Chain A
C-alpha cells in the first residue's frame, strides 16, 4: 500500500515534471516572459498572459516586495524594480516590473492575465512544400518592382502543422529559406538564410545563374525537416521597341504624336530581342481611343495588326507600314508585344506598369512616340481624314480690300447676275504630302469657283498657284492677291502662287481667292496693225494684247495698243484690253475684224527671193564688213546676202550709223538662208535714208538694245523696215522680276508672212514691275512707202526691187 503510495507520488512528481518542462507554468505580474513580445500570449500558472506594450513611459520605483501595496515613490534603478503604471492602462494591477532596460522614456512591456491557461504540447513542425518558381524552370525578370534588377518572387506553401498545440505560445513560427548557387542549398555558405513568418520572398539575382533553394519551418522549439530542394534560373523577357516610326507628315508639335492621312502609311521598323534566346512570337497592335466630354480617353478593343509568329531565337523584326483606311480617322495607340517561350508577355507590355512617357519635344526626332518602361514601344497616331478645299475666286484687280468676296466672282452662271464668264484660269494645289495636283479648271456647275477633292492633310505649307498657260493666253499676268476664308495663318502678297499654312481644318475648307491682273510686256504701235488669219479651228485670236489701265501707264503714253488714231485690221477676232477688261485697241476703237483674205493675196504667194538683177554681197555689191559703213549702198540697186554676212555688217557698224548714198532713199536688201539675223546693237541711219530688209531668215533682236525710260518720241533702235518670212523675235528675259527688260523701239512696216511657215512677231520682252512703259514700240515710218514708191516708178528696170505690183485690166475687142 505504501509502495502504491510511493508509486503514485512518483507518477505525480513525474507528471508535474513533465508539465513543468513541457508546458512552462508562469504567473502574472511579471514582465513579459523571455522570448515574448507585445501581442504574444503564454501560459503561466494556469493563467493565459498576454504581453503588452506600455503606452506611457512608466515611472519605476524600487520593489517593496508586496505587489498589492503601492510602492513608495522611488527612482527605479534595477531590473526587477517595480514600475508605477498608468492606472487607466493597467486595470488589474497597478504595478509592473522593469525588465530589460528600465530606462526612463523607453516604453516597457508588461503582461496581464487574459484567460485561464490550458496545457500545451510541443513537437517538430511539418515539412514545407515549395511552390514557385518551378523546379528547374526559368523565370522572368520584372521591371516593375521597386528595386531595379532581375528579381523573382519565391513562394512556398504555408505550413499548417507547426508542432505546437498552443500556437506561438512556445515561440513564434517562422520559415527558414536557404538560397545558394550550390547544392545543397543548406550547405555551408548559402546566399540567403532568411527567417520570416511569410511564405514568400523576393530574391534579386543574376540573369542566367542557377539558384538552389529549400525551406524549413521552426516553431520556437524545434525545426521541421528541410523541404525538397528546387532550383531555378532567371529568364530574360524579350524586349520590343520601335526603331523607326514615321507618319506622312513632318514632325510637328506635339512631337510624340505621329500624324498620317488616311490612305498613307505609318511606316515602322521594330526590333524584338531576347538575351536568353527563347523568343516565341511578337505582334504589333493598334487600339483606338477617343476623348469623352471630360477629356478622358475611351478605349476601343485592341486589334492585332501584325502577328509575327514564329519569332524565334534571340531576335526578329517587324517592319512595314500600317495603312489606315478612310474610316480609321481618329487617335490610335500602336504598341508592340513580344512573347518568349514562357508565354508571358515580355517587356515592356506585359511586365511593366505605369504610364507611358512622351519622348519629348524634339523637332528633329523622327522617331516620335512614347517611352514605356524604358522602351520606345508605343506611339500615339493621329489619322487625319482627307479633305476638300473649295472657294470662290474673284477679280480683285481693282479691289483694295480683300475682306469679302466681291461682285465679280467667277462662279456658276446660273447662280446670279454677278458672274464673270468662266475663263481658262487654272489652279494647282500642292503641299509636301500631296505633291502637285493636276491643273484644276473652274467648276462652273458647282456652287464655287474651284474645288480640290480628297486632299491629304498636311501641316506643312500649302500652295495654290495659277498655271502659266493661262498667262500666255491673253498676255495678262495673273497673281493671287488675297485669300479669304476659314483658313488660319494665311497671307499672300501678289504672286503667281499663294502659300499658306494649316489649310485644311474643316471639310470642306473654304478658301476664297482674289486674283489681280497685271500686264506683261506689252507693245505700243504708231500706225495700223494687221493681225493675220489662219485656217485653224476654232477661230483664233489674231491680236492678243494686255495693256495696263490708264492709271498705270506711264505719262504721255496712251493706254492703248495703237497710239495713233488708226484702224486695227484682223483676220479673226482680237483680244486687246486693259487689265480692267476695257477695250484697248485704240482710243477711237476703230477696227475691221474677221477679214478673210484670198489665199493668193500678197504676200502669201511671195517667195522672198531676190529679183534677178540683185547684187550679191560680198561681191559686186560690196563686202560684208563694210556694207553698212562704206556709204556705197545704192538705192537704185537691190542687194542679196546671207544673214551671217549682214550680221558681220552690223557688228562692224559698232556705234556708228549706217550710210546710204542717197539721203532720203530706200535700199532693199534681201537676206537668204535660215540662220538668224541678229540685231545686237542699234542699227540706225545717219539720215532719212533707210534699208528695207526682206529676209527669208528669222530675225532676233537681243535684250541689250533698249531704253530704260522711253518716251513717245524716242528714236528707234532699229531703223530698218522688215519683211520677214520667218519669226521676228524680240528676245525677252526669263526673270522679269529680277532681270526685267527695257523698251525696244523699231520702225514699221514690220511685216511677217508665209502661208506655210506661219511666222510670228514675237514680243517677248517684259519690263516686270515697270510695265507701265511698253516693252516694244513700233513706229510707222511712211518713208518706206513714199520713197520706195517713187523709186519704183522711176526705175529703168521692171520690178527692180521685187516688191511692186501693178493693176492690169485686159479686154479683147
Chain B
C-alpha cells in the first residue's frame, strides 16, 4: 500500500526535546531554591560576623585603663562613616575567609543624670560614684526582695563614714535573720544623706539581686559613673552593597573595691571565735 510514507526519525528528536525541557525545568527549579537558601545563609553569617565584631570591639575597649578611656571619649564620638582609627577595631579576613569585619566604637561617659540605675547580683557589692557632690540626699528605690547594706565613704577618710542596713518593704526572706534594720518606705525607697565630700555609695545586696535606682535630691545630677562603650560591628566586603550592622552597648563602672573592704574583720569561710 502506498499512501503517505512518513519518516520516523523526527520522533526521536521530539523525544529528546521534551526530555531536555523537563530536565531544564527541574534544574531551574532546583537552582532557584539553592539561590534562595544561599541568600539566607549569607545573611545569617553576616549577622554573626557583625555581632562578633561588635562584641570584640567592646571587649577591646573594656580592657583599656580608665585613663585611656577618658582620652578616647573625646575621639570616639560614634562616627561610623569616618571613624578615627583609634575607634576602629579590625577583624581582617583570612585566605580561607576573605571577609573583613570591623567594630567602630563610641566611648562616652554615663550616669550624669539625676537618676542612675544599677544592678547588683546577690551578695555582691556595687558602688555609686559620688565624687564631687556635697550635701543633700540620695533616694534609693528598688523592688526586689533583697536586703541592702550601704556605706558612704568620703574623700577625706577622717570624716566619719556612714552605713546601715535597709530591708525591703513588705517582703520576706527565706533564710535571712535580720534585727534592727531600717525598712524601705511604701514606695520601696529609702534616703541616704550624702554628707560632706562623699566619694562613693557602696551597696551590697543580700538575699537576692537588686535593681536600684538612685535619685539625687534637688534635681542634681550624679557625677560620671563610668563609661559606656557602644560598639558597632559591620562587614567590609569590597564592592559590597550590603551594610549589615550590630551594636553592643556596654556600661562599665569606675573600679571600686569589693565589699570586704567595708569590714573591720572578715572571715569568708571560717568561724570567728
Is A bound to B? yes
Which residues of A pack against B, CB within 8 Å? Answer: 475, 523, 525-534, 540-545, 566-567, 569, 573, 588-598, 601-604, 723, 748-755, 758-761, 763, 778-790, 792-799, 803-813
- Which B residues touch A804, using CB under 8 A? 255-257
Question: Which of chain B's residues 38-66 have a Cβ closer than 8 Å to chain A?
Answer: 51, 54-55, 58, 62-66
Does B248 make an interface contact (CB < 8 A)? Answer: yes
The answer to whether A603 and B261 have CB atoms under 8 Å apart is: no
- Nearest-neighbor residue (CB-CB) of B68 within chain A: A796
- Which B residues touch A799, using CB under 8 A? 255
Does B91 make an interface contact (CB < 8 A)? Answer: no
The answer to whether B226 and A806 have CB atoms under 8 Å apart is: yes
Does B186 make an interface contact (CB < 8 A)? Answer: no
With beta carbons under 8 angstroms apart, the residue of A543, A603, A794 that contacts B271 is A543
Within the complex, the shortest CB–CB distance from B223 to chain A, in Å, comes to: 12
Given contacts A592-B147, A812-B54, 11 further A-B pairs with CB under 8 A are A528-B262, A569-B263, A589-B180, A591-B178, A595-B207, A602-B258, A750-B264, A760-B267, A797-B65, A805-B256, A807-B256
Complex CA–CA separation, A541 to B67 (angstroms):
45
- Nearest-neighbor residue (CB-CB) of A723 within chain B: B260
- Which B residues touch A533, using CB under 8 A? 269
- Which A residues touch B63, using CB under 8 A? 798
Within the complex, the shortest CB–CB distance from B129 to chain A, in Å, comes to: 9
Query: Which 3 pairs from chain A and chain B are nearest by CB?
Result: A527-B264, A753-B268, A748-B264
Most chain B CB atoms below 10 A, which of A544, A752, A779, A787? A752
Complex CA–CA separation, A574 to B242 (angstroms):
65
Given the known inter-chain contacts A544-B271, A813-B247, please indicate yes or no for A786 contacting B153, CB distance below 8 A: yes
Question: Which of chain B's residues 231-273 have a Cβ closer than 8 Å to chain A?
Answer: 246-273
Which residues of B pack against A, CB within 8 Å? Answer: 51, 54-55, 58, 62-68, 118-127, 147, 149, 153-157, 161, 163-165, 175-181, 199-200, 206-207, 226, 246-273
With beta carbons under 8 angstroms apart, the residue of A590, A594, A781 that contacts B181 is A590
- Nearest-neighbor residue (CB-CB) of A798 within chain B: B65
- Nearest-neighbor residue (CB-CB) of B173 within chain A: A594
With beta carbons under 8 angstroms apart, the residue of B154, B250, B265 that contacts A810 is B250
- Nearest-neighbor residue (CB-CB) of A583 within chain B: B179
- Which A residues touch B157, using CB under 8 A? 781-783, 785-787
With beta carbons under 8 angstroms apart, the residue of A530, A592, A784, A794 that contacts B267 is A530
With beta carbons under 8 angstroms apart, the residue of A750, A786, A794, A812 that contacts B265 is A750
The answer to whether B257 and A792 have CB atoms under 8 Å apart is: yes
Complex CA–CA separation, A566 to B262 (angstroms):
11
- Which B residues touch A595, using CB under 8 A? 123, 175-176, 206-207
The answer to whether A786 and B264 have CB atoms under 8 Å apart is: no
- Nearest-neighbor residue (CB-CB) of A533 within chain B: B269
The answer to whether B260 and A789 have CB atoms under 8 Å apart is: no
The answer to whether A529 and B263 have CB atoms under 8 Å apart is: yes
- Which A residues touch B206, using CB under 8 A? 592, 595
The answer to whether A566 and B250 have CB atoms under 8 Å apart is: no
The answer to whether A795 and B252 have CB atoms under 8 Å apart is: no
- Which A residues touch B247, using CB under 8 A? 812-813
Within the complex, the shortest CB–CB distance from B63 to chain A, in Å, comes to: 6
With beta carbons under 8 angstroms apart, the residue of A534, A541, A566, A598 that contacts B122 is A598
Given the known inter-chain contacts A527-B264, A534-B269, A749-B266, please indicate yes or no for A591 contacting B123, CB distance below 8 A: no
Most chain A CB atoms below 10 A, which of B58, B62, B255, B264? B264
The answer to whether B260 and A751 have CB atoms under 8 Å apart is: yes
The answer to whether B263 and A530 have CB atoms under 8 Å apart is: yes
- Which B residues touch A545, using CB under 8 A? 272-273
- Which A residues touch B251, using CB under 8 A? 808-810
- Which A residues touch B154, using CB under 8 A? 786
- Nearest-neighbor residue (CB-CB) of B254 within chain A: A793
The answer to whether B65 and A753 have CB atoms under 8 Å apart is: no
- Which B residues touch A763, using CB under 8 A? 272-273
Most chain B CB atoms below 10 A, which of A529, A567, A598? A567
Complex CA–CA separation, A196 to B179 (angstroms):
117
Complex CA–CA separation, A594 to B248 (angstroms):
39
The answer to whether A760 and B261 have CB atoms under 8 Å apart is: no
Within the complex, the shortest CB–CB distance from A280 to chain B, in Å, comes to: 75
- Nearest-neighbor residue (CB-CB) of B182 within chain A: A590
The answer to whether A789 and B200 have CB atoms under 8 Å apart is: yes
The answer to whether A807 and B127 have CB atoms under 8 Å apart is: yes
Given the known inter-chain contacts A542-B272, A545-B273, A798-B63, please indicate yes or no for A789 contacting B199, CB distance below 8 A: yes
